[in-house]
Chains A and B, each alone.
Chain A
C-alpha cells in the first residue's frame, strides 16, 4: 500500500526567510509526487509535480521541491516566504500503474509571520 508522511503539523517562518515543508512517501515502484495547497474553505490548488527527470521541480508561486529517491522524500521549499503563503499544504503520491490512485498526507499548516 502506498502512503505519505508529513511529520510536521505546523511550520512557522518569518516573512523573507526560506521555508521547507517535509514529505516522505512509500509506494511500489517509481512514484508520481504532487504538492497541493489549500486555503480556508477552498479546494486543492496544484503547486507542482514530479513524474520523471530532474530531481528539482519548479512550480507555481516560486515554490520548488526536491525529489530524493534514496530517502524517499519530496520536500517543498521556497527561498523567501510571503505572508500570503500561509495555508495548508498537502503532499500526495501515486504509483505508475493505471489503476493507482492518489494518496495524501495529513497536511502541514504553514504560518508566515510579518
Chain B
C-alpha cells in the first residue's frame, strides 16, 4: 500500500508568479484535502475534492484553485503569488471524505520572494 506522495518537495517562486503543486493519493482513497501551514502555525484547510468535485473550501481567495483527476490524484494551483503564500502545503487523502481518518504527505515547502 503506497502512501501520499507530494511533489516537488521544495520550490522558490517570485511574487506574482503562478505555481502548481501535485499530490498522489494513497491507493483506494477517493478524497483529497489541501492544507496550508505557515511557520509556527497549525495547518489551515484550503479545500477538499471528493470524486473529482470540490466539496468544501476554507477561507482562501479564488486564486487558490485545484483539480482532482480520475485516478484521484490532485493539483493545487496558486496564481499571483504573494509573499504571505510562503508556507508548507500539505495534501491529505482519505476514504469517503475523511471517514476513518486522513493520511498526509510530507508536504511541499513553497518560498515566495
Contact = CB atoms under 8 A, between A and B. Distances in A.
A105 B45 CA distance: 12
Tier of interface size on chain A: 20 to 34
A43 B105 contact: yes
B42 interface: yes
B5 to A, nearest CB: 11
Interface string B71-113: 0000000000000000000101000111111111111010000
B4 to A, nearest CB: 8
B106 to A, nearest CB: 4
B36 to A, nearest CB: 11
Highest count of chain A CB atoms <10 Å: which of B42, B96, B98, B100: B42
B43 A49 contact: no
B93 to A, nearest CB: 12
A34 B43 CA distance: 13
A32 B98 contact: yes
Contacts of B103: 46
Interface residues of B, number: 27
Given A44-B43, A44-B90, A104-B43, A99 B97 contact: yes
Contacts of A60: none
Contacts of B45: 101-103
A31 interface: no
A41 interface: yes
B17 interface: no
Nearest to A48: B101
Interface in A36-94: 36, 41-46, 49, 51, 90, 94
B55 A44 contact: no
B21 to A, nearest CB: 13
A43 B107 contact: yes
A42 B98 contact: no
